[in-house]
Amino acid sequence: MTATILDGKTVSAALQDDIAQRVEQFKAKTGVTPCLAAVLVGEDPASQVYVRNKERACAKVGMTSQLFRRAEDISQADLLALVQQLNQDDNVNGILVQLPLPKHLDASEVLDAIDPRKDVDCFHPSNVGLLSQGRPNFLPCTPHGVVQILKHFDLPTAGKNVVILGRSDIVGKPLALMLMQRTSQTCGSDYANATVTVAHSRTPNLKELTLQADILVAAIGVAKFVTADMVKPGAVVVDVGINRTDDGLCGDVDYDALLQVAGAVTPVPGGVGRLTVTMLMENTLQAAMIQAGG
């Protein structure tokens, strides 16, 4: 048995085409071009790549983007002032502050300062709270990308045992919330209604849990952590990890080994990462619609 490869490029391209059409409809109706503002502090190479990818995606779907570069030694007060400036700018619909920030800055305070209606990363406490109640304005980009991949390849989560490795605020927690809901805001009840287990570094007997998973999501941040003997034959494995090693980029699962065990698996690169940027475009359009009064 060889696993089906869940190609994120294919899913991303289809979704971006749909977003582009809806952006054109929105522009024709309102005269407004959705705009995403990105704040990049310092010279982190990975962050610069991510921001460039977001700028290109904006152009591809017909949105505009603004980039605000600031020196690594920017003060907390000056960064908060920039966020407030963008909050008050009616031409900016979405704001993202690229993480990680330099250690002297309080990232939580900065993210909390973003207007919730412009919080397209869905990190603001108000948006997290709405997500937990099943009535979100926005869905977190990476978890939403995971669900969209499953939908595209007709791999429903309803009634399935889903094990998520990792409890981060960016992936593990919000994905668990989304999959436990009675229905998915964008994909319907077939892509919710899961029985979800969230495991982490303090979880005992981890292999026993992962072997029970119909769908295993790896977001633990350790290169090739998930080995073939941890996966139930035929299970769906979604690899959210991106790790830079001497041999290049790899995910949190031993991809080559899992191809002979799993029923389906996402590659790294070329998997979930493509969807993260695409769902950011979706959120920026949604933010523009909310700010336009519909």
What CATH number corresponds to the domain at position 107?
3.40.50.10860
Mean pLDDT of the chain: 95
Could you read off the pLDDT of 122-132 as tens digits, one per residue? 999 999 999 99
> Would 231 be classed as within a structural domain?
yes
Separation of first and last alpha carbons in the chain:
48
- Whether residue 1 has pLDDT greater than 80: no
Could you read off the pLDDT of 191-242 as tens digits, one per residue? 999 999 999 989 999 999 999 999 999 999 999 999 999 999 999 999 999 9
> Would 6 be classed as within a structural domain?
no
Could you read off the pLDDT of 58-85 as tens digits, one per residue? 999 999 999 999 999 999 999 999 999 9
190 assigned to active site: no
201 is in an annotated binding site: no
Could you read off the pLDDT of 24-37 as tens digits, one per residue? 999 999 999 999 99
Q: Which amino acid is at 153?
A: F
CB atoms within 10 A of CB 133: 9
> Would 131 be classed as within a structural domain?
no
Mean pLDDT on 98-105: 95
Spatial CA neighbour of 252 closest among 224, 229, 230, 231: 224
Give the confidence band of 294 by pLDDT, cuts at 50, 70, 90: low
Q: Same domain for 153 and 234?
A: yes
Provide the pLDDT for residue 203: 95
What's the CATH code of the domain at 162? 3.40.50.720
Number of domains in the chain: 2
> Would 289 be classed as within a structural domain?
no
Domain boundary among 115, 149, 172: 115
Q: Same domain for 65 and 172?
A: no
Q: Which of 115, 121, 252, 254 is catalytic?
A: 121
Q: Same domain for 182 and 241?
A: yes
Q: Same domain for 111 and 145?
A: no
> Would 70 be classed as within a structural domain?
yes
Q: Same domain for 101 and 145?
A: no
Task: Determine the 3-state secondary structure of 162 from DSSP.
Answer: strand
Pairing of β 243-245 and β 248-250: antiparallel
> Would 9 be classed as within a structural domain?
no
Q: Same domain for 200 and 101?
A: no
Q: How far apart are CA 93 and CA 197, in angstroms?
A: 35
Share of residues in the chain with pLDDT > 70 (%): 99
> Would 127 be classed as within a structural domain?
no
Q: Same domain for 144 and 110?
A: no
Q: Same domain for 167 and 98?
A: no
> Would 128 be classed as within a structural domain?
no
54 assigned to active site: yes
Q: Which of 16, 98, 286, 291 is catalytic?
A: 98
Q: Same domain for 79 and 200?
A: no
Q: Which residue range is the domain that position 219 belongs to?
A: 140-273
Q: Same domain for 85 and 200?
A: no
167 is in an annotated binding site: yes
DSSP state of 117: G
Q: How far apart are CA 290 and CA 18, in angstroms?
A: 19
Give the confidence band of 48 by pLDDT, cuts at 50, 70, 90: confident
103 assigned to active site: no
Share of residues in the chain with pLDDT > 90 (%): 92
166 is in an annotated binding site: yes
Q: Same domain for 104 and 190?
A: no
Q: Same domain for 269 and 144?
A: yes
| Contact status, residue 144 vs residue 120, Cβ threshold 8 Å | no
